[in-house]
Every structure is written in structure tokens, then in C-alpha cells.
RNA sequence: GGGCGGUUAGCUCAGUCGGCUAGAGCGCCUGCCUUACAAGCAGGAGGCCACAGGUUCGAGUCCUGUACUGCCCACCA
């Protein structure tokens, strides 16, 4: 068997082998009907978008989740890691549209809805397969049998149910919203599809005549001047706003203005949003401002807000193609129409801009034109300026109290306050029993915890300032909104299965909206027959994501999965979606099931490149996880990612180009070398162990025959078990990995294995060394498994064949298992923690290091056997004498004399280490000796001075803890003694 | 504009409750192919802990400010 292990670790072989073991054993599959005495442990994967293959951030996130899942599985929990993907509405539709445009030169509107969706579906199929394959090659131990997709039948049913419930509870309403409209392609754009371009434009200063002139400081004011970059929108002005702090405000607010061209009479209002005019200001806005702002609620987001605050009329003057039109919500057209306005109808918005400016110029109302450079949002598709465009959208009311919730307000364990009959979360305008309150409450009473804790502030701020959630999207790819509408009242509907609401449409007519429950095709048919039409829009992609922790488990059915695995345990995700996603899952989990979907939220760091930039496609600085897996192995990648995971916000990973064997030049990072080196070391140490473990028999083990180095390595192992377990329970990843790295490499490989070599050759010691080694290796593999699952599984299989039983009778046990993935997590071995052995071995190591240093400094070949004397206080001399062989074997010593009282031999090099005086005999090089000793003298002097100063300081003696004072005294004595010894040696050298 | 981080060795990062002469990996230097591993072994060099104040017997650690740097959100008449 041992011969089969290659000299260098070959990740591909081991990965394939381990993967097969896991698949055949169905170890990732969670049984919803089985009961584990240790409880359950559940994670739902943050479903990756099907837009593209996974990047390194995904690799990090999923590595961490897998570490947690494997850890808990080994602890005996009934463990479920639910995998799946997200349809990612607009993002996916956009990439497919881009592709179709590039490859076929066609737009979405050139296809029918179903035809286009077929293209998106095939894109999704392709990427879903790729993503799941990527997760598998990373070693993710998801329950693949349960893989979900946010638009599959089960999730879709949950979406329908949740929507119906919200609709029936009156939490969904029709409201107006300004969307990013692309007049060229006539589509709505998401905020991140808007490209900001700096353009050279103008500020036009337009005079609006007051209905009646106003006297200010003895001057008669007939006009007020507004400044605008978009004169054409003035046709839709419904007010002029000024800052209440403006000295002119008291004369002007409340007065009326006659809007030029249109003749509409509009008020002057006060709003703090308006920037005061200040020509000297550094603020661009203040410099250009006149103090008067024209307010066009239908065509500007800020003006929309102002309009809301002051209940202003909203007048839309544009058609969807960006031309001036009276047909799309110009509500006072009949009253105001006149030849000047009619002239403008049909003009493109830019044409109209010129015409409007020209009109003002001819009427002598154009006060000034100034050049102005500013950013304008442009469509990433057509590259024309986007138009804020008013439209009717579906909203979820997030701050509306909900009456029929499963909890009572009295149950709240956080502070509340009541006014106007509504109970609010204290200090906020968030009702306790609103959706926002449902999400915020659990944070306040600590049912919901963030790691690192600081992210809870993000979550809290967002929820406290939350506005209603617009949920409709003018897309084709997504969950179609389950609402049918008609101007006529519906008939013969079962109120259990259909909910009817009335809202006004864009033209102000009353419309009946019917939402149907899931699985009611008969009702939908009936609605169609009655002339109802289904809403064209789809739901915001976060709507289905919000249900993910329970839609994946089969909600609203009372499935065994839901009973067993909900609520889940931890959500592990990136910080940019704390608000968009995490808060909404909590909201909907509370609303739909009355329970938060998870108690812990772990937010991982963002991986940046070597220059601190976000990894992105456009910068070309991203690293493909599959490349790292190819070049270094999945375990190496995982090791490196986990070892970088502290609770910092960002981590940097220097990126370099490498050439793969197949000739591709790709991005990678030397950081992965760390992981690969570790795996190689693990591989070879295990190989060495197994070369020597044949015939190991626990029955030959006698606790009494444990050597000090055996007790030492078991003590170190016990420490590693304790700290690794503790760290993983608290979402710390790099700490346990560093700890295991040091234990495995520095303790086990550098020392224990080296000592084991001669001991294995000694028939008297061989059984104890074999049993200890087999046991320690076994436990090390278990501790490392969550981090580097493939290689540990592979080695575990070999170990099982060579040493089927790794018990230390009377000391410790390692329950056998068919595969490491389901092997028991190491039990605490605190009784094996042995401070005496640790101290003794440290002494031994110091002697060995001292001899090695002399050997190096004197250029003595490693193979040359040296004779050595060590002078030590009685107790330490006794310890060293017992460990003579340990010292001799690793320091290359022939004769080793250890005594309490001993003179420095002639022509010996000397080392002073703590209380020890170490003499390496028959080595003469007084120059090297002097250099070494002088350096040590300097070191000791540097140490002694501040300690003396401290102890001379009365304030220190008066205030410091007694322990600290004692430690300082001890340390000073220790250093002073050594300094004496070094000075003595130097003096002898001069003789 | 609002919020949240970071700045420690050439690079990437640890550093717990404020307390021993500040640590690791990579890179660098010296010597070793010592039959587990050169992806390795042994040894070594390398630090004004960003800057300026403050609190304290004592500050990399706590407080205030400055500079630089990054992330998230909002907005840009």
C-alpha cells in the first residue's frame, strides 16, 4: 500500500478518489426524518447568480461554509447544506441581451417573450451546470440531491404563496416611481446599468414672472430666476422651491408664479433641499444656484421627493420615446393648452430644449446662459441620456403595522414606544409589527448576531431608514407578478383563492387587481375569460431570494425538511448584500413562518488584488477558482483562502499571470503556494508515518512506556484540539488553521517525527512510537479535514488499511469510521495537557538549537559528530540526562556530558541559554566566538536597561499589578545572570 | 454627502484583557540533495508598529486630531 503513495502530492488523483468515496457513501445527503442526539446543523448557500461562472469571492465564501458544515457533520449533527442558484433577474437578462446583440444583432424586442426566455433559459442551464461543477470541485459538501433554483417549481410556489399572503394582508400596493428609462430602447434600466458620463452642458437661467410683484427691501421684484440644466422639463413644473433660510423666503413663499409658455399658475414653496446661492462657495451647486429651484416631480428624482413632501401635482410631459406629449399624464392639458405649447408637442426632448430656450430668449426671459460640466446618467446599451420616467409599480409597505402576526407585541424583548395607537421600536419610526420591525427586532434583542459584530450597524441603519420596497421590474426573466387586472369588477371568485384590491391606474381610472393563490389554474382561466390580463412585469429578484431559507425546504408545505432544518443555523455571505438580501430574509422568515431564518450571520472579507482594487471582469484582475484548483489543487486553494480569513473587511491577494500546461495565460497568485506546500508536507509526513506503521498493534501499547516526547506531542495535540474546536464554534478561521499549521509542521514534523526515526529502530520503543504516531496522525487528519478535505480523506483511507485501529488503550481513543468525512470530531483530551512535558521538551529543544547555531556559525558540516557538555541546575540536568538520546539524535552529538557542576572545557565554543551553559568541544574560532558573544551581550544589555528603569520607578512599583512586578524582577535576574555568564566567557576569551 | 474599515519586516498578514526584548508565511542571506518532503532541512538578517497630541506606572493595543488608502450606500438642479 505504502508504495502506492507518490513522492509529490498529486491533487488530481486524490481529489478524484475522495470525491468518489463521498459520492458512493452519500455522506452529504441529509435525512430529514432521522434524529441525531447532537441536533441539526443547516446552512443555505447564498445562491450564486447564473449570470457567470464563480469567482474567487465565491470560492472563499463556499470554502468557509464547507468548513463549518464538515466540522458540524463530524461532531455528529444531522447536517444539511442546501445548494442552489439564483435566476438573478435583470443581471441575467442583461447578459443574454448583450450576447444576442453581439452574436445575432438582435434585441429582446425582436423576439417574442417566450422565444427570448428560451434563450435565457439555455444560458441559465449552461451556467447552472458550470457553477455546480465548480462547487463540487472545490469540495463543497452540499446535499446535491436537493439542489434548488430560485425559479424552479418549488421556489415558484413559495413566491406565489408569499405574494398572495402579502397581497391579502394589504401590504402590497400600486404606487408611482421614477425609473431609469432608456428612451432609445424603451426599457427600464437598473441603477447599475446606468453609466455616468461627464458632459459639457449649460445652466440656463430662466425668469419666471410673479403673478403679483413683491416688494423686498424697497425693491420691486417682478421675476424670480430659476437655474436649470434641463429647460424642456419646465413644461411639467408644478412649483418653485426656495430654502426657508433664504432671507427672501418670507416675502416670496406662498406667492404664485405664472409658468412661461404654459401659463400654469404654480406656488413658491419652502424646502430645505434647495441650495442657497453663494457665488464664492466651493460648492458647485451653490455657485450656480439662484436660490430658486424649479420643481418638476415627474421628471426628476429630487423633485419627486419635494413633490411628495408638498403634495404637488405630478405632470408627465413626455412620451416613452422621449418626445414631448400630452398623452401620458399631462393632467391639466385641457386647461392650459395654447399655441405656444402645442408647438412643442411631438418634438424630441433635445429639440424641445432648444425651442424652449429660444422662446425664453425671444420673450426676453432668458437671464443668462453659463457653461457647466456635470455627470449625466447614460444607458449602457443605447448610450443616450437616461430619462427619469414616472411609472406605476407594485410596492411592499414595509412600515405598515400587520395585524395578524404570530407573535404579540408584549413578547418583544427590546424597548418600544407607543404613539397614536402604534407601537414603535424605540427611537425609530419603525412599527414593531411592520415588516421592517420584524427584521430589526431580532437584532435588538440579540436573537440575530453578526460576525464581525460591526456589520449589525449597517443592517440597523438601513432598516431604520427603510422606504417601501418597489418589487415590480419591467423585465421578462423572473417570477411573473401573479396579479390580473381589469376595469370591470370580477365575478364568481373564491375569496380563499383570489384576493381583490382596487387601485387607480396612471390615467386615474379605478382598476380591479386580483391576486390568486398558488395552484389555482381554474381561477386564472376564469379571470382571462372575464377579460382580465396578467401583469406584464416580473418580481424583483430579491423577492424570491428573501424566501430562500424556507422555499428551498418546501414551504408552504409542512415538509419534514422544513420541520427538521428550519430555522437554519448560519448565513455566510458578503457584506454588500447585508441590506438587500439578509434583511429581507429575516423579514420574510419572520412574516411567513414566525421565526428568524438563522441566528448567526457571518460576513466574510472581500478579496482585492495586490493593489487593493476589487477583483472584476473589467479590470481583468480576477482569479478563476478552477485555475487555482488546476495549478495548486482544491485543498491548497481552500487552505490559502481560509488562512486569509480574519475579521478584517478586505484582504489582498497579489495577482500574477501564469502559463498553464495547455498554453493558456491566466491569473493566479503565489499565495496559493502556501496551501500547496502545506498539502505536500502533509502528504509526505503521512507517507513517512505509514512507511513505519505496518504492524502497529494497540494491544502492544503501555501507557507507562510513554517517553517525554510522546507525552509532549500528545499534550500539544490536546491543545490543538481544544483551540481548533473553540475557534470553529466562533467563526474564526485563520486562527485554527495557523494553530494546526504550527502543530503539524513545527511540532509534529520538525521534532516528533525526527525523534521517532531512531526510536522506531529500537524494538523496545517501536510499539509505543507506532501507536502514538498513528493516533496523532489520525487526530491531525480529523482536525484538518474541514479545511483540506480531499487530501485528508485520501490519507485517512490509507491509514485505515495500514492501522485499522488507532487506540491508545488507557489514554485515548479514535473511533474508527469508514470515511473521514463522517469520522468523529476529536474529543477533548484536556487530561493529556502536560505542562511538565512541554517545559522539559522546551529545555531539550533549547540545547539542540544552541548546538545547531554553533554548528552553523562555525561552518561545521551537519554530518560531523560533536562532543558536548551541558552545565545545568540540578533539576534541569536531571531532565536533560533522561532525554539524552533526544538531544544526541537531533543535534548530531557523540559524547554528551550533563552535570550540575562543570567547567568549561578548553577550546570549546560556549552558549548561554537561560540557566544552561552549553559547551561544544574541540571547536576553535575565537573570532566567531567573540562576535557571537558580543552580539548576545548587546542583546542582554538592551533587555536589562528598561527592566532596571522600570523597577527603579516608584510609580510602577506602586501601581502595577504584583504579578507584573514579580515577573519583571524574575526576568531581570534571569537576564543579569546570563549577562554575567556571557561577560565571563568574553573575559576568558581575552586571556 | 452619510456609514464602515485599513495603515505593523521588501510583500501578504497575525498580534487576545494595555504588561516578557513585537510574530508568521513568502522573499532575501549562509550552509545542507541528512533514504518522508529542495514544494524540503538547519541557521540568520530584516521593524520610528502612518504622523501629531492625549490618558496611563506602562500604549502596536485606549482617546482626539491629521494624512494616505479602500469598501458600502445615497446623490449629482
How big, in percent rounded to 5, are the helix, strand and coil portions of chain A? 45, 20, 35
Q: What pLDDT is recorded for position A5?
A: 66
Nucleotide nearest to A742 (CA to C1'): B24
Segment A570-576 mean pLDDT: 89
Angstrom distance (rounded) from CA A743 to CA A717: 7
- Burial group, residue A446, by CB count within 10 angstroms (0-12, 13-18, 19+): exposed
Say how far A228 CA is from B77 C1', in Å: 5
What grid cell was written down for A348? 424630441
Angle between the A766-784 and A671-691 helix axes, to the nearest 10 degrees? 150
Say how far A645 CA is from B51 C1', in Å: 29
Q: What pLDDT is recorded for position A208?
A: 94
Q: What pLDDT is recorded for position A666?
A: 87
Q: What pLDDT is recorded for position A364?
A: 92
Nucleotide nearest to A859 (CA to C1'): B31
Nucleotide nearest to A756 (CA to C1'): B36
Which secondary-structure segment (H or E) carries A561?
helix A560-565
Nucleotide nearest to A645 (CA to C1'): B13
The maximal CA–CA distance of chain A, rounded, in angstroms, is: 119
Angstrom distance (rounded) from CA A572 to CA A540: 22
Question: Which tens digit of pLDDT belongs to each residue from A650-702?
Answer: 888 888 888 877 788 888 888 999 999 999 999 999 999 999 999 999 999 99
Nucleotide nearest to A276 (CA to C1'): B77
- Burial group, residue A124, by CB count within 10 angstroms (0-12, 13-18, 19+): buried
Say how far A664 CA is from B38 C1', in Å: 28
Q: Which residues pair with A485 in a beta bridge?
A: A513, A533
Contact A455, A583 (CB under 8 A): no
Say how far A183 CA is from B25 C1', in Å: 56
Show the 3-state SS of A432-469. Answer: CCCHHHHHHHHHHCCCCEEECCCHHHHHHHHHHCCCCE
Say how far A610 CA is from B10 C1', in Å: 14
Ranges A20-29, A442-451, A503-512, A866-875: which has the least confidence: A503-512
Enumerate the H helices of A594-707 as residue ranges. Answer: 625-632, 634-643, 671-691
Say how far A904 CA is from B14 C1', in Å: 42
Say how far A856 CA is from B46 C1', in Å: 19
Contact A809, A694 (CB under 8 A): no
Nucleotide nearest to A277 (CA to C1'): B77
Say how far A916 CA is from B65 C1', in Å: 51
Question: Which tens digit of pLDDT belongs to each residue from A743-771?
Answer: 999 999 999 999 999 999 999 999 999 99
Contact A207, A257 (CB under 8 A): no
Position A283 confidence tier, pLDDT thresholds 50, 70, 90: low
Q: Output the CA–CA distances (angstroms, integers) from residue A769 to A432, A688, A730, in the order listed.
A: 64, 13, 35
CA A218 to chain centre: 63
Contact A290, A205 (CB under 8 A): yes
Question: Which tens digit of pLDDT belongs to each residue from A914-960?
Answer: 889 999 988 877 888 888 888 899 889 888 888 888 888 888 988 88
Say how far A464 CA is from B2 C1', in Å: 14
- The DSSP output letter for A370 is E
**b (16+ CB within 10 A) / e for A303-333:** bbebbeebebebbbbbbeebbbbbebbbeeb
Say how far A983 CA is from B59 C1', in Å: 34
Say how far A273 CA is from B3 C1', in Å: 21
Q: Output the CA–CA distances (angstroms, integers) from residue A222 to A207, A216, A249, A580, A609, in the order listed.
A: 9, 11, 15, 50, 60
Percent of residues, chain A, with pLDDT higher than 70: 98
Q: What pLDDT is recorded for position A1?
A: 38
Nucleotide nearest to A750 (CA to C1'): B41
Q: What pLDDT is recorded for position A990?
A: 80
Does residue A472 have a pLDDT over 90? no
Going through A575-642 in order, the beta strands assigned E by DSSP cover: 600-604, 606-609
Q: What pLDDT is recorded for position A360?
A: 93
Contact A475, A89 (CB under 8 A): yes
- Burial group, residue A459, by CB count within 10 angstroms (0-12, 13-18, 19+): buried
Question: Which tens digit of pLDDT belongs to each residue from A196-244?
Answer: 777 778 889 999 999 999 988 888 999 999 999 899 999 999 999 998 8
Say how far A458 CA is from B5 C1', in Å: 13
Q: How many C-alpha atoms does A625 have within 13 Å on its Cβ side?
A: 30
Nucleotide nearest to A203 (CA to C1'): B77
Angstrom distance (rounded) from CA A477 to CA A121: 9
Q: What pLDDT is recorded for position A76?
A: 94
Task: Name the residue among A270, A296, A287 with its Cα closest to residue A356.
Answer: A296
Q: Output the CA–CA distances (angstroms, integers) from residue A39 to A154, A538, A832, in the order listed.
A: 26, 39, 28
Nearest protein residue, CA measured to C1' of B58:
A956
Q: Determine how β-strand A172-182 pairs with β-strand A387-396.
A: antiparallel
- Grid cell 512586578 in the structure block, residue: A965
- The DSSP output letter for A470 is E
Segment A191-196 mean pLDDT: 71
What grid cell was written down for A73? 457533520
Nucleotide nearest to A958 (CA to C1'): B57
What grid cell was written down for A48? 450564486
Nearest protein residue, CA measured to C1' of B73:
A462
Nucleotides of B under 7 A from a protein CB: 3-6, 11-15, 19-21, 24-26, 30-32, 34, 36-45, 56-58, 69-77
The SS3 assignment for A529 reads: helix
Cα-trace Rg, chain A: 38
Q: Output the CA–CA distances (angstroms, integers) from residue A240 to A232, A263, A307, A421, A900, in the order listed.
A: 15, 14, 11, 37, 98
Nucleotide nearest to A243 (CA to C1'): B77
Q: What pLDDT is recorded for position A552?
A: 96
Average pLDDT of chain A, as a whole number: 89
Question: Which tens digit of pLDDT belongs to each residue from A377-422?
Answer: 887 767 788 888 888 888 888 888 988 776 666 677 888 888 888 8
Q: What pLDDT is recorded for position A2?
A: 38
Say how far A234 CA is from B60 C1', in Å: 60
Question: Which tens digit of pLDDT belongs to each residue from A242-260?
Answer: 988 888 888 999 999 999 9
Angstrom distance (rounded) from CA A161 to CA A28: 30
Would you call the peptide bond into A556 cis, given omega within 30 degrees of 0 as the criterion?
yes
Residues contacting A373, CB < 8 A, separation 6+: A198, A199, A200, A201
CA A622 to chain centre: 17
- The DSSP output letter for A892 is T
Position A327 confidence tier, pLDDT thresholds 50, 70, 90: confident
Segment A86-90 mean pLDDT: 87
Position A3 confidence tier, pLDDT thresholds 50, 70, 90: very low
Nucleotide nearest to A304 (CA to C1'): B77
Say how far A58 CA is from B70 C1', in Å: 20
Say how far A541 CA is from B74 C1', in Å: 21
Nucleotide nearest to A670 (CA to C1'): B26
Higher local confidence (pLDDT), A977 or A376: A977
Say how far A393 CA is from B73 C1', in Å: 23
Does residue A427 have a pLDDT over 90? no
Say how far A644 CA is from B9 C1', in Å: 19
Say how far A951 CA is from B53 C1', in Å: 28
Angstrom distance (rounded) from CA A589 to CA A686: 47
Nucleotide nearest to A301 (CA to C1'): B75
Q: Predicted ipTM?
A: 0.94
Q: How many C-alpha atoms does A633 have within 13 Å on its Cβ side?
A: 26
- Grid cell 470553529 in the structure block, residue: A728
Nucleotide nearest to A458 (CA to C1'): B3
What grid cell was written down for A945? 536597561
Say how far A544 CA is from B45 C1', in Å: 59
Q: What pLDDT is recorded for position A504?
A: 79
Q: Output the CA–CA distances (angstroms, integers) from residue A738 to A28, A632, A741, A832, A913, in the order listed.
A: 27, 19, 5, 21, 28
- The DSSP output letter for A324 is B
Most trustworthy range by pLDDT among A2-6, A154-158, A323-327: A154-158
Nearest protein residue, CA measured to C1' of B39:
A677
Say how far A980 CA is from B34 C1', in Å: 37
Nucleotide nearest to A685 (CA to C1'): B36
Nucleotide nearest to A856 (CA to C1'): B43
Amino acid at each position: 500500500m505504502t508504495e502506492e503513495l507518490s513522492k509529490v502530492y498529486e491533487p488530481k488523483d486524490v481529489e478524484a478518489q475522495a470525491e468518489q468515496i463521498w459520492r458512493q457513501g452519500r455522506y452529504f445527503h441529509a435525512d430529514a426524518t432521522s434524529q441525531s442526539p447532537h441536533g441539526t446543523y443547516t446552512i443555505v448557500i447564498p445562491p450564486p447568480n447564473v449570470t457567470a461562472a464563480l469567482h474567487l469571492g465565491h470560492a472563499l465564501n463556499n470554502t468557509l461554509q464547507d468548513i463549518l458544515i464538515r466540522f458540524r457533520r463530524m461532531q455528529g449533527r444531522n447536517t444539511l447544506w442546501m445548494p442552489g442558484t439564483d435566476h438573478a433577474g435583470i443581471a441575467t437578462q442583461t447578459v443574454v441581451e448583450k450576447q444576442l446583440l453581439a452574436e445575432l444583432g438582435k434585441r429582446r424586442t425582436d423576439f417574442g417573450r417566450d422565444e427570448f426566455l428560451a434563450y435565457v433559459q439555455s444560458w441559465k442551464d449552461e451556467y447552472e451546470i458550470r457553477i455546480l461543477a465548480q462547487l463540487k470541485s472545490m469540495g463543497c459538501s452540499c446535499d446535491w440531491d436537493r439542489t434548488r433554483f430560485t425559479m424552479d417549481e418549488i421556489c415558484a410556489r413559495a413566491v406565489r404563496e408569499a405574494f398572495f399572503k402579502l397581497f391579502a394582508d394589504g401590504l402590497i400596493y400600486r404606487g408611482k416611481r421614477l425609473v431609469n428609462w432608456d428612451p432609445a430602447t424603451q426599457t427600464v434600466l437598473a441603477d447599475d446599468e446606468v453609466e455616468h458620463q461627464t458632459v459639457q452642458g449649460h445652466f440656463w437661467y430662466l425668469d419666471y414672472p410673479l403673478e403679483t410683484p413683491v416688494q423686498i427691501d424697497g425693491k420691486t421684484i417682478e421675476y424670480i430666476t430659476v437655474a436649470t440644466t434641463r429647460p424642456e422639463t419646465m413644461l411639467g413644473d408644478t412649483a418653485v422651491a426656495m430654502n426657508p433660510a433664504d432671507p427672501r423666503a418670507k416675502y416670496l413663499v406662498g406667492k404664485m408664479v405664472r409658468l412661461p409658455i404654459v401659463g400654469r399658475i404654480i406656488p413658491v414653496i419652502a424646502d430645505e433641499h434647495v441650495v442657497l446661492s453663494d457665488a464664492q462657495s466651493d460648492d458647485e451647486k451653490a455657485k450656480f444656484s439662484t436660490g430658486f429651484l424649479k420643481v418638476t416631480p415627474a421628471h426628476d428624482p429630487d423633485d419627486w421627493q419635494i413633490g411628495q413632501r408638498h403634495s404637488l401635482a405630478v405632470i408627465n410631459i413626455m412620451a416613452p420615446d422621449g418626445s414631448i406629449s400630452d398623452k401620458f399624464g399631462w393632467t391639466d392639458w385641457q386647461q392650459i393648452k395654447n399655441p405656444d405649447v402645442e408647438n412643442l408637442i411631438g418634438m424630441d426632448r433635445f429639440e424641445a430644449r432648444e425651442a424652449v430656450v429660444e422662446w425664453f430668449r425671444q420673450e426676453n426671459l432668458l437671464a443668462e446662459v453659463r457653461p457647466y460640466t456635470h455627470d449625466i446618467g447614460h444607458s449602457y446599451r443605447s448610450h443616450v441620456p437616461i430619462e427619469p420616467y414616472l411609472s406605476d409599480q407594485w410596492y411592499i409597505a414595509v412600515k405598515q403595522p400587520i395585524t395578524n402576526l404570530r407573535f404579540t407585541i408584549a413578547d418583544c424583548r427590546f424597548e418600544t414606544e407607543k404613539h397614536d395607537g402604534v407601537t414603535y421600536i424605540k427611537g425609530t419610526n419603525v412599527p414593531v409589527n411592520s415588516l421592517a420591525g420584524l427584521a430589526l427586532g431580532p437584532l435588538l434583542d440579540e436573537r440575530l448576531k453578526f460576525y464581525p459584530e460591526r456589520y449589525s450597524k449597517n443592517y440597523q441603519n438601513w432598516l431604520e431608514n427603510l422606504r417601501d420596497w418597489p418589487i415590480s421590474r419591467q423585465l421578462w426573466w423572473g417570477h411573473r407578478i401573479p396579479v390580473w387586472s381589469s376595469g370591470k369588477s370580477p365575478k364568481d371568485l373564491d375569496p380563499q383563492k383570489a384576493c381583490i384590491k382596487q387601485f387607480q391606474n396612471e390615467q386615474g381610472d379605478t382598476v380591479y387587481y386580483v391576486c390568486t393563490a398558488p395552484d389555482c389554474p381554474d381561477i386564472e382561466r376564469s379571470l382571462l375569460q372575464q377579460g382580465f390580463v396578467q401583469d406584464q412585469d416580473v418580481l424583483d429578484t430579491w423577492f424570491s431570494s428573501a424566501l430562500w431559507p424556507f422555499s428551498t425546504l418546501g414551504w408552504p408545505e409542512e415538509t419534514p425538511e422544513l420541520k427538521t432544518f428550519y430555522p437554519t443555523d448560519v448565513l455566510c455571505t458578503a457584506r454588500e448584500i447585508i441590506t438587500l438580501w439578509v434583511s429581507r430574509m429575516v423579514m420574510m422568515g419572520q412574516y411567513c413562518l414566525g421565526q428568524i431564518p438563522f441566528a448567526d450571520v457571518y460576513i466574510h472579507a472581500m478579496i482585492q488584488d495586490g493593489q487593493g482594487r476589487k477583483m472584476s471582469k473589467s479590470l481583468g484582475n480576477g482569479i478563476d477558482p478552477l485555475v487555482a484548483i488546476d495549478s495548486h489543487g482544491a485543498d491548497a486553494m481552500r487552505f490559502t483562502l481560509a488562512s486569509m480569513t480574519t475579521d478584517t473587511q478586505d484582504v489582498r491577494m497579489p495577482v500574477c499571470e501564469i502559463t498553464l500546461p495547455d498554453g493558456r495565460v491566466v491569473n493566479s497568485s503565489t499565495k496559493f503556494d502556501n496551501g500547496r506546500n502545506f498539502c505536500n508536507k502533509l502528504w509526505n509526513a503521512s507517507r513517512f508515518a505509514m512507511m513505519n506503521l505496518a504492524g502497529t498493534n494497540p494491544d502492544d501499547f503501555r501507557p507507562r512506556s510513554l517517553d517525554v516526547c510522546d507525552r509532549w506531542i500528545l499534550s500539544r495535540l490536546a491543545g490543538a484540539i481544544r483551540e481548533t474546536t473553540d475557534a470553529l464554534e466562533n467563526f474564526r478561521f485563520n486562527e485554527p488553521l495557523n494553530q494546526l499549521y504550527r502543530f503539524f509542521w513545527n511540532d509534529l514534523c520538525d521534532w516528533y517525527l525526527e525523534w521517532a526515526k531512531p526510536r522506531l529502530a529500537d524494538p523496545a520503543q517501536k510499539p509505543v512510537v507506532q501507536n502514538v504516531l498513528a493516533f496523532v496522525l489520525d487526530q491531525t487528519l480529523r482536525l484538518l479535514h474541514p479545511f483540506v478535505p480531499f487530501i485528508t480523506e485520501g490519507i485517512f483511507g490509507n491509514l485505515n488499511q495500514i492501522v485499522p485501529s488507532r487506540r491508545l488503550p488507557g489514554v485515548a481513543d479514535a473511533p474508527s469510521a469508514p470515511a473521514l468525512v463522517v469520522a468523529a470530531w476529536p474529543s477533548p483530551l484536556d487530561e493529556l495537557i502536560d505542562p511538565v512535558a512541554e517545559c522539559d521538551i522546551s529545555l531539550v529543544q533549547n540545547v539542540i538549537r544552541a548546538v545547531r547555531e554553533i554548528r552553523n556559525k562555525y561552518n561545521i558540516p551537519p554530518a560531523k559528530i560533536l562532543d558536548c557538555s551541558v552545565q545545568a541546575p540540578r533539576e534541569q540536568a536531571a531532565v536533560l540526562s533522561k532525554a539524552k538520546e533526544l538531544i544526541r539524535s537531533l543535534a548530531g552529538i557523540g559524547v554528551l556530558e550533563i552535570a550540575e557542576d562543570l567547567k568549561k572545557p578548553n577550546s570549546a565554543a560556549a552558549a548561554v541559554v537561560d540557566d544552561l551553559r552549553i559547551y561544544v568541544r574541540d571547536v576553535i574560532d575565537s573570532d566567531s566566538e567573540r562576535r557571537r558573544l558580543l552580539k548576545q551581550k548587546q542583546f542582554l544589555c538592551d533587555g536589562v536597561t528598561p527592566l532596571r528603569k522600570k523597577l527603579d520607578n516608584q510609580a510602577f512599583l506602586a501601581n502595577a499589578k504584583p504579578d507584573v512586578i514579580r515577573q519583571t524582577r524574575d526576568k531581570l535576574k534571569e537576564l543579569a545572570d546570563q549577562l554575567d555568564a556571557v561577560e565571563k566567557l568574553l573575559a576568558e576569551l581575552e586571556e
